[in-house]
Structure 1
Amino acid sequence: MAKAYWVSAYRSIKDPEKMAAYAKLAGPALTGAGGRFIARGMPAAVRECGLQERMVIVEFDSVAAALAAYDCPAYKEALAALGTGSVEREIRIIEGT
């Protein structure tokens, strides 16, 4: 079974306090759901329309595990702390090769 990668690409962080509250809950929620943080932070370099904004990559054992992590109660709590309009980002879950 192929591993899966949860990639969070931030376009902007509008409320750093809510982002910090989210991060405090999201990290343990994702690791508790079997995720392993591969990278998180600001890019060392950007190219081809890339944004100098936060990126997060989390590895899971499967796509099903990554999707289950997104839907788990602990991550839902993190999303509630983030609220709406605090960040602009996209989350992509992709299957590894």
Structure 2
Amino acid sequence: MAKTYWIGTYRAVTDPDKLAAYAKLAGPAIAAGGGTFLVRGVPAKTYEAGLNQRTVVIVFDSLEQAVAAHDSPAYQEALAALGNGAERDIRLVEGV
């Protein structure tokens, strides 16, 4: 079974306080769902389109585990705390 990578990029943060409230809840919710943070921060260097966006990469043992973590009540609570505090894109990608 291929590992799955949860990749998130932040196009804009409109409310840092809401983002902080989200992070306080999301980290434990993702860890409880079996996720391990591999990357969290702003790129050290960008190429191609050069978008210098905050990026998060989390690894899960499977796609099912990643989906379950995202859909869990604990993570949904974190999303509610974030509200409209950031414009983001999250993708779940299976490894090769």
Gaps of 5+ in 2: none
Deviations 1:1-31 (A, max 9, x none): 0000000011111111100100010000000
TM-score normalized by the length of structure 2? 0.96
Identity percentage of aligned residues: 57
Q: Which residue of 2 aligns with 1:61?
A: 61
Deviations 1:17-70 (A, max 9, x none): 100100010000000100000110111011111321210000000011101111
Q: Which residue of 2 aligns with 1:33?
A: 33
Gaps of 5+ in 1: none
Number of paired residues? 96
TM-score normalized by the length of structure 1? 0.95
Q: Which residue of 1 aligns with 2:51?
A: 51
When the two chains are superposed, the root-mean-square deviation of aligned CA atoms in Å is 0.8
In 2: Cα distance, 1:74 partner to 1:90 partner: 19
